[in-house]
A and B are shown apart, each in its own frame.
Chain A
């Protein structure tokens, strides 16, 4: 079974600063995806960024980037130039590639961007 661990229940960052959210996971699989989803107060689940495990290059999406360390089973999210709209719960998630695989979520990190 796969597990996803987020050890930071809450974090805060000043507007325009950079923040890093941590995530570790455990799996015996070799072919999988990792995701960061954002859940604002509206509670909608929004995909922020995706990483394929077979790719060594870290994924980036505008102000969002990841540090994927496959051997260490670590997948952190860096948010640069934080904006007030980044205030949300952030969930790290895992999915085995292929088939009808489900997504396994971490417990989440609540990020507050302070003006």
Chain B
């Protein structure tokens, strides 16, 4: 069964450094998302992406964050200058989005980001 994959599974970085989290959505999906979950808290929406542009973003998704689909398969989240409070689990999700198709979002296994 196709699945969303994410790399790396765990990323440790120093405060102020840039990080790029990578995701490979399910191949025929058209909508892509990033969510984050700070330890012990609920999963929060960051951004949605469709047709090579951001369709919606939350107030968390400030100028330090950016997303990109550099080729036909990868979907990346970049944090330009990491802060301690960016430490969280980051989930990528994708959705088929075709007319009559499934609206379910399928989540990747997550990348645990630790900012020291």
> In which size bucket is the chain A interface?
20 to 34
- B75 at the binding interface (Cβ < 8 Å): no
Interchain nearest-CB distance for B51 vs A (Å): 9
Give 19 A-B contacts (CB < 8 Å), ordered by A residue. A33-B103, A43-B109, A44-B107, A45-B43, A45-B91, A45-B107, A45-B110, A46-B107, A50-B104, A99-B55, A100-B50, A100-B55, A102-B33, A103-B35, A103-B43, A103-B105, A105-B42, A105-B44, A107-B41
The interface on chain B, measured as residues whose beta carbon lies within 8 A of the other chain's beta carbons, has a size of 26
- Decide if B31 touches A100 in the complex (CB within 8 Å): yes
Cβ contacts under 8 Å, B31 to chain A: 100
Closest A-chain residue to B89, C-beta based? Answer: A43
Show the binding face of A for B, using Cβ within 8 Å.
33, 35, 37, 42-47, 50, 91, 95, 97-108
Complexed CA–CA distance, A75 and B37 (Å): 23
- Decide if A47 touches B45 in the complex (CB within 8 Å): no
Show the binding face of B for A, using Cβ within 8 Å.
31, 33, 35, 37, 41-45, 48, 50, 55-56, 58, 89, 91, 93, 103-110, 112
Known: A42-B109, A44-B108, A102-B58. 5 other contacts (CB 8 A): A45-B107, A91-B43, A99-B55, A100-B55, A107-B42
Cβ contacts under 8 Å, B37 to chain A: 43
Cβ contacts under 8 Å, B104 to chain A: 33, 35, 47, 50
Complexed CA–CA distance, A108 and B41 (Å): 8
- Decide if B105 touches A44 in the complex (CB within 8 Å): no
Cβ contacts under 8 Å, A101 to chain B: 48
- Decide if A102 touches B107 in the complex (CB within 8 Å): no
Interchain nearest-CB distance for B107 vs A (Å): 4
Question: Given the interface contacts A33-B103, A43-B89, A43-B110, does A100 sit within 8 Å of B48 by beta carbon?
Answer: yes
